[in-house]
Amino acid sequence: ADISERHKISREDFVVGRILGEGFFGEVHDGVYKSPTGERIRVAIKTCKDCSADVKEKFLSEADLMKNLDHPHIVCLIGVIEADPVWIVMELYEHGELGNYLIENQYSLSTATLVLYCLQICKALAYLEGLNMVHRDIAVRNVLVASPECVKLGDFGLSRYVDEQEYYKASVSRLPIKWMAPESINFRRFTTASDVWMFGVCVWEIFSMAQQPFFWLENGQVITQLETGVRLHKPQLCPPIVYSLLTRCWAYEPSGRPSFGELACSLSDIHRMEVELEKD
């Protein structure tokens, strides 16, 4: 179906439930959507609290980008209601944020499963790379768990098409310094190569069971450390072969970093190996 048709929804088709959490713009509720085909789908409904015209535009820009995305490991947009109160409706992922999920299940998650999550996020990013889109906020807090075997990359609030030169000045104070590549910290330069750096930090979070990267440093100290060559250490649970990929993602020069396509191939091989190992 036509993309604009696919996302046409009406408020009467929803039952709004409890509050799932607080988003940047307002509360996020769970709910049930009755689709035109009669199917009942559990959804997450993002609302916008103080929605003046320019706030509304920023709020809806995330949904605008998501309308064009269709990937098994990217959060699925169901639709938007533009009349007040404005809603962005997404598929619900009941297990919530990957960060919390890792903490709650830290003693039962196998290495193969952790590699699987990394592979799925990497495939989502390879897909974005093909669309010339940079995500700019890759972290376990922005990945949702659909099932124990399936994660979805979300939070396109900072995403941009790379040929767009302007950057999001209003959000400078919200920039995730400890996840950022040196050229992003120094010059606010965001490219697929800086997404690769951030992906490396996200993999580090996954194998650290959601510890904060550089929690021992202040934001202001991070860049000096990176420039003297300091990098995040290998988490205990991280296989050395995965860590050697991370060190390549953290090459100081953007051109020295692997592509998401290459990373996906390596992670796919490593995942197969880990599954074999767990059989023994």
How many beta carbons lie within 10 A of that of residue 41, not counting itself?
15
Active-site positions read 137
Q: Does 99 bind ligand ATP (CB under 6 A)?
A: no
Q: Does 263 bind ligand ATP (CB under 6 A)?
A: no
Phi-psi category of residue 132: left, alpha or beta, with phi > 0 → left and psi -120 to 50 → alpha: left
Q: Does 203 bind ligand ATP (CB under 6 A)?
A: no
Q: Does 90 bind ligand ATP (CB under 6 A)?
A: yes
Span of 80-88, 93-101, 128-136, 236-244 interacting with ligand ATP by CB under 6 A: 93-101
Q: Does 41 bind ligand ATP (CB under 6 A)?
A: no
Cite the DSSP H helix spans in the chain.
Answer: 3-6, 53-66, 98-104, 111-130, 182-187, 192-207, 219-227, 240-249, 260-279
The residue within the footprint of ligand ATP, chosen from 11, 15, 21, 132 (CB under 6 A), is 21
CA 268 to chain centre: 19
Select from 88, 153, 89 the least CA-distant residue to 118.
153
Q: Does 33 bind ligand ATP (CB under 6 A)?
A: no
Q: Does 92 bind ligand ATP (CB under 6 A)?
A: yes
Kindly state the number of chain residues that form the binding site for ligand ATP, as judged by CB under 6 A. 17
Structure letter (DSSP) for residue 25: S
Span of 24-32, 117-125, 242-250, 272-280 interacting with ligand ATP by CB under 6 A: 24-32
**Cβ distance 196 to 259 under 8 Å?**
yes
Among positions 143-172, residues that touch ligand ATP (CB under 6 A) are 144, 155, 157
**Cβ distance 136 to 159 under 8 Å?**
yes
Q: Does 182 bind ligand ATP (CB under 6 A)?
A: no
For residues 250 and 260, what is the distance between their CA atoms, to the nearest angstrom? 13
Span of 84-92, 177-185, 231-239, 257-265 interacting with ligand ATP by CB under 6 A: 84-92
Q: What residues make contact with ligand ATP under the rule CB under 6 A?
A: 20-21, 23-25, 28, 44, 75, 90-93, 96-97, 144, 155, 157
